Amino acid sequence: MFFKDFKTFETEVAGRKLVIETGKMAQLANGSCIVRYGDTEVLCTATMAPKPREGVDFFPLSVDFEEKLYAVGRIPGSFQRREGKASEKAVLTSRVIDRPIRPLFPKDMRNDVSVVATVMSVDPDCSPEIAALWGVSTAIAISDIPWDGPVSSVSLGLVDGKYVINPTLEERAKTEMTVTVASTDSLVAMIEAGANEISNEVMFDGIMFAHEENKKIVEFIKSIVAEIGKEKIAFESNDPSEELYEAIKAFAIEDVKVALDTDDKRIRDERLAPIYDAVHAEFDEKFPEEAAKIDDCLYKLQKFIVRRWLLDEGKRVDGRGIDEIRPLNAEIDLLSRVHGSGMFTRGQTQVLSITTLGTARDAQMLDGIDEDVEKRYIHHYNFPSYSVGETKPSRGPGRREIGHGALAERALLPVIPSMEEFPYTIRVVSEVLSSNGSTSQGSVCGSTLALMAAGVPIKAPVAGISCGLISEGDRFMTMVDIQGLEDFFGDMDFKVAGTKKGITAIQMDLKVHGLTPEIIKEAFEKTYKARMYILDEIMLPVISEPRTELSAYAPKLLTTKIDVEKIGDVIGKQGKVIQKICAECNCKVDVEEDGTIFVTAVDINDANRALEIINTIANDPEIGAIYNGVVTRLMSFGAFVEIAPGKEGLVHISKLDVKRTEKVEDCVSVGDQIMVKVTEIDDQGRINLSRRDALIEVEGLVPENDDEPERERRPRRSFNRNKKG
């Protein structure tokens, strides 16, 4: 056999065959495999640099989930017809893979590690994101890269009241929640969830249900490792020596305690700066070979102090109680011309969210490997350097910004009205103005305020909060509303967003191997109480329900539905009719394939005028109906008025006004917009109109007495618009 190391391992997950092949592809990587789940196939590789790069003081792990459009039989839509930068979905999947595997690497390792999952074939019923994590876990586990895995992940749905592992495409369309759960053989390592207001109990039981399935897959991967796994290589630890750390601890611990004991991040940083200078002055020459690790020791010392305060004394850095939330404030209408704005402040974390409403054509087009082709609710999150007092230039959103924006978007999506209920594309931008922990959940609260202020009829307001963790062996304690320092030095950032009814989104970041069921349950209870307080005491007193009217600067949108056969008449040859409507009425018109038409204009009168024209084109004029028309031609006996493109009628001189008219030119001119009433449609389809009757009916004008007989009407003739009559 050509591939002498080729091996195949099989099991079954959710009624579908799972096959992992090794020894055939990508053999120069430290570890590689291809995962086949149904017809979904993902190549996964793990590679490690032989030695650390000089000057690297962190563990450089990169995780890339690569979408190839050939996997779904499509050619990329870009000009070059090749895949460009990673899509938002690919970035989010990379983060989902990264979070459960990162804590399992040695914390003192500095060798670059690159993990790549390349999607080569997609079966819509078998998620490539889940298959990728199985493959990544297997590739690292069988490699010689030091790692304390494996882990497994499954997707969990709730269909017709029953939990479903790895739901199919049809089941995903009906599920009440989509939860990705990753686990080791004993602990829950990662949770990522979007849900339709699901209770704590249903969510917790579902996570445990998925955890049990993960345990089986972990054992399957372990059996592969037992058969073909390589021996893990040794590496040089980058931790500072115990001698250096203990010396710095003895020298600076009391000063560091004083520096940390404040609720103001700026004061803390100012207090720490001279301590760093003093420690370097004292120890740079005493430990010349480890001078570069002195800052690591000071970081380690701060972590030691904060964790001891929390775990042993129940003391938080800013003096709050364990379940006490920082001072909160909510405001709306901070910006004059935007469609809706809201600002949410929690301690030194402050987020300003802005809502913009657009037409159906403003929906985001998606070019990925899943079934989603567009998105009408969009949330973008920006984290400028000034929000943390730094001076970095802006270079566009990074993975963190994309991830936080997606989390807030997922949290609000279950309460966003359908297109039928509110036919707008909705974009919310959250600008982080200052950051000291949990800005993503601040953006959830700010977005809710901005949406309600903009008049978006959301089904319920949503709030978000985070829960932290300090653990040591079997001991643990959780605290609500963690600030930056507690996030840096703690073990968990458990973010939960939801309404009063239930959970809409979860994202869990860990620095430890995983969580026990007791920790998860306690985190749910604490975040629920905090969400209720934020909603009842802070947000709802500012704005209790969505406004019933849109901003004066927001587009006004009207809809109608016409016969599909009339779509061509509305659009016109080469789009001339619809372009004329848009130009005359200062509006936008979007036509769907099913005959649904959306008319958008800032002025509601313009929108009504355009809709009237469209309905007139699509439907034959009715006797007695009143229209706003445009005078196109003047004759001695009357004026021709176009009530819609291609539909023209005659207003006889005797019907031009409520008083007697001697000359047509005395009453109207070409180009005038006038109101007319349809009085007759003869058997040849010719339309007779009356401005006189429209003025009497709509404006209540009283006609002058006129006993003279109506002047004889001339026979109607055809006229060429380019010639004089």
Give me the CATH number covering residue 680: 2.40.50.140
First to last CA, the chain: 92
Residue 718 has pLDDT above 50, yes or no: no
Residues 457 and 468 in one domain: yes
Residues 15 and 157 in one domain: yes
Residues 567 and 689 in one domain: no
Strand partners, 514: none
Residue 320 lies in a domain: no
Tell me what pLDDT residue 14 has. 95
How far apart CA 302 and CA 126 sit, in angstroms, is: 46
Tell me what pLDDT residue 700 has. 79
Scanning the structure block, which residue is given the tokens 């939330």? 325
Residue 663 has pLDDT above 50, yes or no: yes
Q: Mean pLDDT in the chain?
A: 91
Residue 701 has pLDDT above 90, yes or no: no
569: domain CATH number is 3.30.1370.10
Tell me what pLDDT residue 711 has. 43
Tell me what pLDDT residue 367 has. 78
Greatest mean pLDDT range, 273-282, 643-652, 706-715: 273-282
Tell me what pLDDT residue 113 has. 97
Residues 16 and 66 in one domain: yes
Section 576-598 average pLDDT? 90
Where among 205, 228, 251 does a domain terminate? 228
Tell me what pLDDT residue 512 has. 93
Phi-psi region of 569 (alpha: psi -120 to 50; beta: other; left: phi over 0): alpha
pLDDT confidence bin for 705, thresholds 50/70/90: low
Tell me what pLDDT residue 97 has. 97
Question: Could you give the C-alpha distances from 273 to 198, 259, 515, 622, in angstroms and in order?
Answer: 46, 9, 35, 81
59's tokens: 């563990």
208's tokens: 């445990």
Closest by CA position to 388, among listed 353, 434, 327: 434
Model confidence pLDDT, tens digit, residues 247-292: 999 999 999 999 999 888 889 999 999 999 999 999 999 999 888 8
Where among 481, 510, 539 does a domain terminate? 539
Residues 290 and 372 in one domain: no
Strand partners, 648: 642
Model confidence pLDDT, tens digit, residues 158-211: 999 999 999 999 999 999 999 999 999 999 999 999 999 999 999 999 999 999
Tell me what pLDDT residue 1 has. 55
Tell me what pLDDT residue 708 has. 44
- Of 394-398, 508-512, 553-557, 649-653, the poorest mean pLDDT is in 394-398
**Percent of the chain at pLDDT above 90?**
72
Where among 197, 228, 259 does a domain terminate? 228
Residues 200 and 64 in one domain: yes
How far apart CA 459 and CA 712 sit, in angstroms, is: 63
Residue 377 lies in a domain: yes
* 3 state DSSP class of 368: coil
Model confidence pLDDT, tens digit, residues 35-58: 999 999 999 999 999 999 888 888
Cβ 344 vs Cβ 330: under 8 Å: yes
Secondary structure percentages of the chain, helix, strand, coil, to 5: 35, 30, 35
Section 513-524 average pLDDT? 95
Residues 114 and 46 in one domain: yes
- Sequence-distant (≥ 6) Cβ neighbours of residue 83 within 8 angstroms: 66, 67, 68, 69, 76
Section 232-249 average pLDDT? 92
Q: Which domain holds residue 249?
A: 242-313
Residues 424 and 564 in one domain: no
Tell me what pLDDT residue 234 has. 92
Sign of CA pseudo-dihedral 239, 244, 247, 248 = negative
Residues 614 and 657 in one domain: no
Tell me what pLDDT residue 227 has. 96
Burial of 701 (0-12, 13-18, 19+ CB in 10 A): middle
264: domain CATH number is 1.10.10
Residues 494 and 459 in one domain: yes
Tell me what pLDDT residue 211 has. 97
Residue 134 lies in a domain: yes
Residue 235 lies in a domain: no
Section 294-322 average pLDDT? 92
Residue 405 lies in a domain: yes
Residue 409 has pLDDT above 80, yes or no: yes
Number of domains in the chain: 5
Cβ 432 vs Cβ 387: under 8 Å: yes
Residue 236 lies in a domain: no
Residues 297 and 347 in one domain: no
Residue 139 lies in a domain: yes
Residue 715 has pLDDT above 60, yes or no: no
- CA-based radius of gyration for the chain: 34
349: domain CATH number is 3.30.230.70
pLDDT confidence bin for 717, thresholds 50/70/90: very low
The more confident residue out of 681 and 21 is 21
How far apart CA 59 and CA 62 sit, in angstroms, is: 10
Model confidence pLDDT, tens digit, residues 432-477: 999 998 899 999 999 999 999 999 999 999 999 999 999 998 899 9
Residues 203 and 163 in one domain: yes
Residue 609 lies in a domain: yes
Residue 381 has pLDDT above 50, yes or no: yes
Residue 722 has pLDDT above 70, yes or no: no
